Structure 1
């Protein structure tokens, strides 16, 4: 018997030794795969990509994750208590592993065969989240236990809790309690209510499923569970529990609080950054500094929105957006009213409101902030007499000074580009009425017919071919027979009238279509197409017929701004760009734009060539776009724009001679002073130049203009080409945007125009013939012409009298 006991004892001892050795070997083997605990201290924050204006104001933030680092003493005690109650109430007592919980899990496994997560302490969660996978295997669990014991041995409890609360995933891309407080409630963690703290503390179990954005009811249930645990553990009183439990479960999802409304530019910068640096730009903490000027951008946004709203008010009111049942206005329907209004988000400052009543004396509405009353002058434009609003109608209102005004979201759209002509820096860009409603960037992507805005480029080609501002053309009917169409083409002036012989200067000032067609006939379509490339306009979009003279070509507002920048800067072709600098999270500069710039005062190297045959050698936008952003492609939302990556910088190529450039600029100055763009006189400046543009049936309305330091191009139209309505021409629909922008852009900017270059002379001209006027001629006018193209003196030869000569004699 004793021998049997001895043998049994020896066998048990051997088995125990073997088991212990196996456990020891297993621990050594698993421990070898575990990372050093010290690496857990190195919290790598994923800092989002930030986009700013040139003066440092935020216009966009993009990031795959949200993280905010908090030290232990910065975390409110209520937050710590809530997580301890929800996840590990014995955290400050156990050695990193809750053996009791593990035993319960083991018993359940033995009895039911089901694996559970029982006994998972905060330390174990930290080990799993930082170093290990979430797979539910025994091997992973053993590694988790070993690493937890090691963490507890090398770190203090406060250090462990600080790391956990900073690293735990809490749904909606939020890592850590500091980020979650902003993501779900838009608040600093110190400003959260007890109920909100409990909501966040309830997330670790299933953060993607139970968060208040994805599943408000599940989040509320988890919140109440956490509150109950906090009460039971003595962290809060019964009164606090009841008060927090009664609080509504509401969220205010985080949105970066931008300083300047420039979302279209922010999106352009985001796409550029991803293209250049890859997808990891979202968490590297890069800052993209754009060329946008915050003051100019603000003026551009306000000007465009005001113009589109004014257009909308000139046309019939379309009526309410929706109709809500009247019970939302009842005493018990406040929550229903708020819910209904939440379904209609504010758009570009236009707030949703529900009509309470409307008559001739007042329009009473309810908003999310309470009741408002609009006086008759605030809604007179809508002409509600025949079709009044009724209770329950959902409408829009907007701020107008210290009053509220009836409004509606415009269906018409617009775009604006403000450009520095010296180097092509984009100072302001607006791609539509509201980015969040429609992300299509009309400033860079919408190719629209440019109408008479094309004429300055055509007239410049005529001047380069030997004509002068004083050259006379006939403003008279013209008919073209085209065998490809059933009827003859009979172009007309916009006003439908005829003025007979007139100079090119006056024809441009008054935007005469028939003169423009005759000029194109005279210099030739091929020559004009080649020459127009000098302004950076893509030649492949120019038509091969005389409709080119009327602006049937399609360009984006940015492309038009580039073309007019060439005139404004003295004849130099610059590349529009919008990224000035990129810095990393430490402030180190990774990229600096190096654009080429205009230099009128630099010695003329003769790079321009006024002969049409040579003009084809001038680079088009597709050729001059830099290596990272091919202009004109559809791979980025930046048609015609670059990020400023010139390889060499330096002086841009002069593509238009100083004489031609000055003359066309001077003619456009007359347009802005006494022609179709005379509305610019409201700015009380004598250094403005511009050109209106209106297409057939007033489908597109443009104003393109500049001062020596600033180019501005405004466009108004429908996304699906539709007539804007009678009288909605460039000077009425688009010019107000330009005026509002220039008022801000040119504030405190001294008046200045390009100096007149050598090679031009002032002469007295007979306005009827374009010839030098004889002494004493009473109708003579002064004009400036090329020195080598001074008109001949007046003669009595009838062949030089446009009133008597036929077109064959004129040309």
Structure 2
């Protein structure tokens, strides 16, 4: 019909629109419900294996453990992550505001998430089909660094968002910011703001300026790019950006920012080095900490205070090095090393293990700074950069050592295996051409020569020094090597070596303690006088060596010491030495008198310190305090109570005897110290071990020099030559500000004049009478007889001046093996034969 509309009547359109609106509403509601359910399911899915956030309340990131000297000087640090945690209240506001301006200005306003930033990052990531942008808040960064991995995946991001919300509900904003500032990485192995501030500026974060705070925060963006030690210009530009952000966010005003930008960057001097003042002490502190706190030691955060005196420790290290350098110079161990007509035999065979071998120099590469050395079947290289000890003038390898020169080396790590190539298909091996290499690798071609094995020069001996404060028994210096490297062997503590004649002090000391011997006692010097044991003196003839105990000790007469031991009983001396501080196992036979049983330098220093302290033994102490991460002090094991071993009068008489070693005996070089010194030199067979152990009224010190593999030190190397100089140099430095003091004379000591030939009371008016000291009640009562007119006895003090009073070893004689369970070979270079049977009639030692 004309003019009629095709659509529905107007009155019918209203219900139709309402119907569709209702349908759309229901659909939208259903979609919302479905979306909510989906989101809930997704959240539940990601929540299923999320880490707990409760641990953040007590989160303990790895920290630095610091080992300090007695005055607070840093001796070393131990860490898995170099971090020192500081509480949020100790971090200055400029550091916190700089971090907020650069990373998350709205941190204190949002609930852990920046939704607009997340949407913007999502759009970027969707366009690139992978996660390129994060828009992480500080809360999210804490989640990522502490609870999750830093992987850039959608899966990890979803977990991060969920955890960020949970953390905001469980921690305060300050707690979250504290975690962040202590966790982040600042480059160069430093974690957290405190370690970063110490490294870059040499001070605590508590003391940084606004400009320094901004520079620290600038580094976080990319430590390898923005570190001022890598690129100062780029670091300063990033710092200025952080300062501008602080001004824009009203965290700093215009004047403050302008002044900060004008402040020059002053970086602290880098002091990191593999060499340390006292790595031996650091290692012991670590061991003690592990024993006390167990696995918690690995997390760090402890401060360990030791008894080490930094000045004395430095002097001790310098003295040991100077002494060993002097030895190297005497024996021509410093470059250039010229080939001699009689080179020692080189090692033959295949080297293995951490031993010292004699290798042959086969070539040099000056460009690489290496020497080529053949050790038996092995080809190796020595890097001269690590051999400054023997190459102080920095000679190139071609000038350092002649080809065919034989040098002592050791393997660094295991020897490399030869490379074997697979044989081509159908190709047969020529057995004659392949030789041993072909037979060793039948599945392929003959083995290619292995890559050169890394080697280390071992030309010179090592040394150790231990110094103990006599009054407190605190260890003030501890040196166990020349190198002072982390992980090196602490020979002062762990190297058990034969002490030689230094052990004679305990033999004579026990005799004085037991009232069996006095300084005037006449001892046998004829080797034939001792049944079953034939030690020899330097002159090997009867009557020439001094027989009076004081002189025999001063000149280190072997037979006299064995004679004394046979009188007092070996088992008694073993117990006596143990009471003084020698903890190593000792055998009770006559070789004990000559130091046949191995001890450590630390034990010898402790025992001599007991004598110096008037006969009272106290266990030496190295660690005095340990404070944990929370500032709580860790209880140390109780120190064993001290005990008296000798009466003061007995200790004084023994000290008097040992001063003669310095005044007129084998250690006369120590007279240069200009103060009373008591001590004893020691030299073992073939000069494999050389010692000096001595003390003043203030400090007891033990020095040892020798090769780790017990190789002979060489002709003329005695305790007086190879150990005493280090003692003298150290004690000179240690006593630089101390007035000279004589050993105090206690009650119970008497002085009488004696006949030097017989040790009896001097005759009335005797012109050659000498004064001697005795424990009261042990002085002689019988007067010496007038000698016959024709008596032509050799003077009592006539003796060869050398301390090494023994028969020189046969040329080329090497170390002799010790059978299991057998007594050790004789050691003192006063050359004693094999240990003999124990003397009969020994008495039980008195209680100490």
Normalising by structure 1, report the TM-score. 0.66
Query: Contact between 1:57 and 1:260, CA under 8 Å: does it hold in 2?
Result: no
1:526 correspondence with 2:519: no
Partner of 1:120: 134
The structure-2 alpha-carbon separation of the partners of 1:75 and 1:733, relative to structure 1 and needing over 3 Å to count, comes to farther
Aligned residue number for residue 742 of structure 1: 731
Distance 1:6 1:784 in 2: 122
Residue equivalent to 2:479? 430
Structure 2 residue corresponding to 1:708, chosen from 683, 694, 697 = 697
Aligned to 1:448: 497
- How many residues are treated as equivalent by the alignment? 641
The residue matched to 2:650 in structure 1 has which SS?
helix
Equivalent residue number for residue 99 of structure 1: 119
1:326-356 per-residue CA deviation (whole Å, 9 max, x = no partner) reads: 699xxxxxxxxxxx99982586898783549
Partner Cα separation in structure 1 for residue 633 and residue 215 of structure 2: 44
- Aligned runs of 1:339-358 on 2, under 5 Å? 344=385, 353-355=394-396
The structure having more radius of gyration, on CA atoms, is 2
Distance in 2 between residues matched to 1:472 and 1:559, nearest whole Å = 30
| SS in structure 2 at match of 1:541 | coil
Aligned pair 1:470/2:490, yes or no?
Answer: no
Q: Does 1:646 align with 2:639?
A: yes
Contact 1:415 1:432 in 2 (8 A): yes
SS of 2:327 mapped into structure 1: helix
Contact 2:498 2:596 in 1 (8 A): yes
Q: 1:553 to 1:414 in 2, by over 3 A?
A: same
Question: Of 73, 79, 83, which aligns to 1:57?
Answer: 73
Q: Which residue of 2 aligns with 1:417?
A: 466
* Equivalent-residue separation in structure 2 for 1:539 and 1:341 (angstroms): 37
Q: Is the 8 A contact 1:182 1:254 kept in 2?
A: no
Corresponding residue for residue 550 of structure 1:
594
CA positional deviation for 1:737: 1.1
Displacement, 1:762? Answer: 1.9
- Deviation, structure 1 residue 62: 1.2
Partner SS for 1:538: coil
Give the secondary structure class of the aligned counterpart of 2:551.
helix
Deviations 1:484-532 (A, max 9, x none): xxxxx64222465652562111110111111111111222223332333
Report SS of the residue matched to 1:537: coil
Deviation at 1:681, TM superposition (A): 1.0
Conserved? CA contact 2:468–2:620, under 8 Å: yes
Aligned with residue 729 of structure 1, among 713, 718, 722: 718
Deviations 1:659-679 (A, max 9, x none): 321111110111111211111
What is the Cα deviation at residue 749 of structure 1?
2.4
Matches within 5 A, 1:540-619: 540-542=585-587, 544-584=588-628, 589-591=633-635
Contact kept? 2:463, 2:482, Cα under 8 Å: yes
Q: Does 1:291 align with 2:304?
A: no
Q: Contact 1:97/1:119 (CA < 8 Å) preserved in 2?
A: no
**2:763/2:785 contact within 8 Å kept:** no
Residues 185 and 192 of structure 2 are in contact (CA less than 8 Å); yes or no, is this contact kept in structure 1?
A: yes
Q: What's the CA shift for 1:754?
A: 4.0
Among 503, 507, 516, the alignment partner of 2:552 is 507
Matching of residue 460 in structure 1 with residue 509 in structure 2: yes
Instruction: Tell whether 2:65 aligns with 1:12.
Output: no
Q: What SS does structure 1 have at the residue aligned with 2:524? A: strand
Give the Cα–Cα distance (whole angstroms) in 1 for the partners of residues 646 and 537 of structure 2.
29
Selected match of 2:670 from 680, 698, 709: 680
Q: Note closer, same or farther for the CA distance 1:580–1:94 as it changes in structure 2 (3 Å cut).
A: closer
Residue aligning to 1:669:
659
Aligned mates of 2:516, 2:489 — CA distance in 1 = 43
Q: Deviations over 1:677-726 (max 9, x none)?
A: 111111111x2111111111111111111112210111111111011111
User: Structure 1's 477 and 272: CA in aligned 2 closer, same or farther, altered over 3 A?
Assistant: same
TM-score (normalizing by structure 2): 0.63
Look up the SS of the partner of 2:394 in the other structure.
strand
Deviation (angstroms), 1:319: 3.5
Change (3 A) 1:258 1:750: farther
In 2, the alpha carbon distance for the partners of 1:472 and 1:159 equals: 80
Q: What is the alpha-carbon distance in structure 2 between the residues aligned to residue 262 and residue 279 of structure 1?
A: 24
* Residues 1:491 and 2:506 are matched in the alignment: no
- The gaps in structure 1 that reach 5 residues or longer are 85-91, 110-115, 213-218, 236-251, 329-339, 359-381, 388-407, 483-488, 593-627, 629-644
Provide the C-alpha distance between the structure 1 equivalents of 2:647 and 2:174, rounded to a whole number of angstroms. 74
Instruction: Judge which range, 507-516 or 30-39, deviates more.
Output: 30-39
Q: CA–CA distance in 1 between the matches of 2:136 and 2:176?
A: 8
Tell me by how many angstroms 1:410 deviates: 5.9
Shift of the 664–326 alpha-carbon distance from structure 1 to 2, 3 Å rule, reads: same
Q: Name the SS for the 2:609 alignment partner.
A: helix
Structural mapping, 1:171-182, within 5 Å: 174-176=190-192
SS in 2 for 1:270: helix
Query: What SS does the corresponding residue of 2:280 show, helix, strand or coil?
Result: helix
Report the alpha carbon displacement of residue 118 of structure 1 after superposing the two structures with TM: 3.8
Q: Say if 2:751 is the partner of 1:762.
A: yes
Q: Is the 8 A contact 1:58 1:259 kept in 2?
A: no
CA pair 155-528 structure 1, distance change in 2 beyond 3 A? closer
C-alpha distance in 1, partners of 2:615/2:643? 9
The verdict on how the C-alpha distance between 1:253 and 1:757 changes in structure 2, with shifts beyond 3 A counting, is: closer
- Find the aligned partners of 2:665 and 2:279 in 1 and give their Cα distance: 35
Measured in 1, the distance between the counterparts of 2:23 and 2:292 equals 73
Change (3 A) 1:79 1:447: farther
| Cα displacement (A) at 1:475 | 1.8
Query: CA–CA distance in 2 between the matches of 1:513 and 1:47?
Result: 56
* Matched residue SS, 1:102: helix
C-alpha separation between the residues in 1 aligned to 2:306 and 2:218? 41
Partner in structure 2 of residue 66 of structure 1: 82
Whether the 8 Å contact between 2:61 and 2:183 is mirrored in structure 1 is no
Cα distance, 1:33–1:796 mapped onto 2, change above 3 Å: closer
Cα offset for 1:302?
1.1
CA distance 1:349–1:783, change in 2 (3 Å): same
Shift of 1:103: 4.2
Query: Is the CA contact (8 Å cut-off) linking 2:70 and 2:307 kept in structure 1?
Result: yes
- Mapped to 1, the partners of 2:781 and 2:172 lie a distance apart of 98
Aligned match of 1:599: none
Give 1:144 shift: 2.4
Report 1:219-258 matches (<5 A).
Answer: 256=272
Give the whole-Å Cα distance in 2 for the aligned partners of 1:282 and 1:352.
Answer: 41
Alignment RMSD: 5.4
Which ranges of structure 2 fall in alignment gaps of 5 or more residues?
A: 1-15, 105-111, 246-267, 338-362, 370-380, 406-456, 795-838, 843-848
CA distance in 2, matches of 1:157, 1:759: 74
456-465 or 571-580: bigger deviation: 456-465
User: In structure 2, the residue corresponding to 1:727 is in which secondary structure?
Assistant: coil
